[in-house]
Amino acid sequence: MAREMPIWIVAAMLGIVAACASLPTDYPPAPPSVALEPDPGSTLGRLATEFSSRHDTGLSGYAPVDLNSDGLRWRLALIDSAEQSIDMLYYLWYDDPSGLVLLEHVIEAADRGVRVRSVVDDTLFLKGKASLAALSAHPNIEIRVFNPWASQGAARVAETAARAKKLNRRMHKKLLIADNQAAILGGRNIGDHYFGLHHKYNFHDLDMIVVGDAAAESSEIFDHFWNSDRVIPATAFVEEVSWESIAEKRKEELDRLRDSDELARFPVTRRDWTEELATLIERMSPGTSTLEYDRLIDETDEQTFDAVLGLVNLVEQAQREVLIVNAYIIPGDRMMEIFQNATDRGVRVRVLTNSLASNDVPAVTAKYKKYRKPLIEAGVELYEFSAHPEIQAGVVDTDPVKAKFAGLHTKALVVDREYVYIGSLNLDPRSIRLNTEMGMIVTSPALAEEVAAIAERDMAPANSWRVRLDENGKLTWESAEGTVTRQPAQSGWQRVQAWFFKIVPEGQL
């Protein structure tokens, strides 16, 4: 049997490969473009007009997307209803059943003449840049890659180490805009974990559908990234692009998707969504909104920090109540000060985040755990999501799937039952200082009550642990399952991971 190559030689070879790799430069400049002017006569244009006719001028419509099944269904509805354009910003897009069925609907839209533009992060997207380039060979599809790696596979590790400052900055946004008339944004990436279709674990998440002027305003974010010098056309990464490689696989993929038990409740190809859209308009809350997003500074690797500053300003103006549901929280000194100031002025602050048991990133818990006691001592009511919540069936898992556990992925906030934030921003150093993030702050008492009800349901004993201090100052976890004095975990191995990851620098999480 041949001996395995020593690990130090492998590492050295990967380092050489990464050092030699370079990004493409000999490609035609990507032409700038902007969102198309909304057409009031289109299907979604008529939808926006119908909403406006029911409410005061200047108000847009907003509706939370709570159920994971609805997260997939409403994306399909907007794509199928588009007649002019589809613009998408996404951090992750998996090539699993939900990712592929959404891709099929996007291709169908392009086939009927809809202009499709997409900016993708290079972290994980379908089958990589070669597949993105093949998709871009379609005359109506163009894909640009944000801050790409030059190398592939394991060599990325060495390249990241060599160019850490630049490659650490990822585009963490999630946004889909149809016809510049309707949009869906929030915490969900594209993949089975986010739509309740994965058999190991599924995320509990929250999106928001927006109709009207606010949807058109979200195109500002897309155009900013689309036209930045931080993106490279997907076609620049291959010598020759060919649509045939996609076309040949479509029929085979469609047959597999039609046979998928997980997708039995969803249309594999385009359908009419008129009835669902009419129902949507009936239940949308009227309001106004502002977009908070990190802007890229051209010809540098820097960016602004508007996403977190918008959120800070919102909390600092709270008079009565702050409800926070956020998957990954590592507060740091500044956030702790903000919470303390809020409780000192009489604001009730409730926070829900992942427990170790529900966390898909134990490294975050390793850093978050030291803040539990200070948060409670600051007057914050602290809750941690259960890995087996009552809402797993129906809200998190999509029938017929029954995952082994659930994890929290929501990034939402309600202030004084009047203001709502829904977006991509985690309350950790990576989101705050490294990633580019986005969110929408909506002024709408009706929407605020709806999102607050979701937050309070998620904090209930059937779904979460209330973290308290006992009479001796020790932490306890209380839920419908009882009271424990050790942080809930799924296994001893998970506890070992949380202990081991204490070595990871807090600023990288």
Contact criterion met (CB below 8 Å) for 83 and 114: yes
Per-residue pLDDT reduced to its tens digit, 160-200: 888 888 888 899 999 999 999 999 999 999 999 999 999 99
- d(CA 409, CA 204) in angstroms, rounded, equals 6
Q: Specify if 101 maps to a domain.
A: yes
Strand-pairing partners, residue 184, are 176, 209
Please state the rounded mean pLDDT for residues 301-325.
95
CA distances from 255 to 110, 244, 263 (A): 20, 18, 12
- d(CA 209, CA 182) in angstroms, rounded, equals 7
Q: 503 and 365 in one domain?
A: yes
Q: 503 and 437 in one domain?
A: yes
Which of the pair, 462 or 150, is modelled with greater confidence?
Answer: 462
- d(CA 123, CA 280) in angstroms, rounded, equals 34
Nearest residue to 439 via CA among 250, 242, 210, 237? 210
**pLDDT above 80 (res 506):** no
Per-residue pLDDT reduced to its tens digit, 12-38: 444 544 445 688 888 888 889 999 999
Contacts of 340 (CB under 8 A, 6+ apart): 378, 379
**DSSP letter string, 348-371:** EEEEEEE-TTT-S-HHHHHHHGGG
Residue ranges making up the domain that contains 322: 305-508
Strand-pair category, 321-326 with 348-354 = parallel
* Residue 11, pLDDT score: 47
Q: How far is CA 437 from the centre of its chain?
A: 9
**Burial class of residue 445 (count of CB atoms within 10 Å of its CB; 0-12, 13-18, 19+):** middle
Which of the pair, 294 or 301, is modelled with greater confidence?
Answer: 294
Residue 89 tokens read as 């910003």
Q: 275 and 394 in one domain?
A: no
Give the domain CATH number at 414: 3.30.870.10
* Residue 1, pLDDT score: 40
Residue 64's pLDDT band (boundaries 50, 70, 90)?
A: very high
Please state the rounded mean pLDDT for residues 67-92.
98
Residue 262's pLDDT band (boundaries 50, 70, 90)?
A: very high
- Among 266, 281, 296, the domain boundary falls at 281
* Residue 82, pLDDT score: 98
Nearest residue to 80 via CA among 112, 49, 50, 53? 112
* Residue 5, pLDDT score: 40
Please state the rounded mean pLDDT for residues 456-483.
97
Q: 311 and 233 in one domain?
A: no
- Among 265, 281, 297, the domain boundary falls at 281
Which of the pair, 499 or 413, is modelled with greater confidence?
Answer: 413
- Mean pLDDT value across the chain: 92
* CA-angle at 467, arms to 194 and 380, nearest 5°: 90
Residue 154 tokens read as 């394991």
Which of the pair, 14 or 264, is modelled with greater confidence?
Answer: 264
- Selection from 117-126, 375-384, 494-503 with the highest mean pLDDT: 375-384
* Residue 158, pLDDT score: 85
Lowest mean pLDDT among 70-74, 113-117, 325-329, 363-367: 363-367
> What is the number of domains present in the chain?
2
Q: 327 and 221 in one domain?
A: no
**pLDDT above 80 (res 126):** no
Q: 136 and 46 in one domain?
A: yes
Could you give the 3-state DSSP secondary structure of residue 95?
coil
* Residue 333, pLDDT score: 95
- d(CA 438, CA 308) in angstroms, rounded, equals 9
- Amino acid letter for position 310: G
123 phi, psi to nearest 5 deg:
-70, -55
Which of the pair, 63 or 503, is modelled with greater confidence?
Answer: 63
* Residue 494, pLDDT score: 84
Contact criterion met (CB below 8 Å) for 382 and 372: yes
CA distances from 466 to 350, 389, 413, 462, 476 (A): 10, 13, 18, 11, 8
Contact criterion met (CB below 8 Å) for 97 and 197: yes
Q: Specify if 19 maps to a domain.
A: no
479 phi, psi to nearest 5 deg:
-150, -175
Q: Specify if 14 maps to a domain.
A: no
User: Which residue reads 């850093």 in tokens?
Assistant: 367
Q: Specify if 5 maps to a domain.
A: no
What's the first-to-final CA gap in the chain, in angstroms?
42
Per-residue pLDDT reduced to its tens digit, 191-238: 999 999 999 999 999 999 999 999 999 999 999 999 999 999 999 998
Please state the rounded mean pLDDT for residues 58-86.
98
Q: Specify if 29 maps to a domain.
A: no
Residue 261 tokens read as 């038990």
- d(CA 101, CA 95) in angstroms, rounded, equals 9
Q: 259 and 371 in one domain?
A: no
Given 3-state DSSP classes, what are the helix, strand and coil percentages for the chain, each rounded to the nearest 5?
40, 25, 35
Contact criterion met (CB below 8 Å) for 382 and 356: no
- d(CA 459, CA 441) in angstroms, rounded, equals 22
* Residue 137, pLDDT score: 92
Could you give the 3-state DSSP secondary structure of residue 419?
strand
Q: Specify if 291 maps to a domain.
A: no
Nearest residue to 191 via CA among 280, 126, 272? 126
Q: 341 and 241 in one domain?
A: no
Q: 346 and 277 in one domain?
A: no
* Residue 168, pLDDT score: 85
Please state the rounded mean pLDDT for residues 323-348.
97
**pLDDT above 90 (res 334):** yes
CA distances from 414 to 237, 350, 366 (A): 43, 10, 27
* Residue 507, pLDDT score: 66
Q: Specify if 63 maps to a domain.
A: yes
**pLDDT above 90 (res 412):** yes
Q: 230 and 104 in one domain?
A: yes
**pLDDT above 60 (res 9):** no
Strand-pair category, 207-211 with 182-186 = antiparallel
**pLDDT above 90 (res 328):** yes
- d(CA 300, CA 504) in angstroms, rounded, equals 27
Strand-pair category, 411-415 with 321-326 = antiparallel
Q: Specify if 25 maps to a domain.
A: no
Residue 78 tokens read as 């907007």
DSSP annotation of 301 reads S
- d(CA 429, CA 328) in angstroms, rounded, equals 10
Strand-pair category, 348-354 with 419-423 = unpaired
Could you give the 3-state DSSP secondary structure of residue 111?
helix
Q: 269 and 329 in one domain?
A: no
Contact criterion met (CB below 8 Å) for 380 and 343: yes
Percentage with pLDDT > 70 across the chain: 95
* Residue 163, pLDDT score: 82
C-alpha count within 13 angstroms, C-beta hemisphere, residue 403: 31
Residue 118 tokens read as 């997409």
Q: 366 and 276 in one domain?
A: no
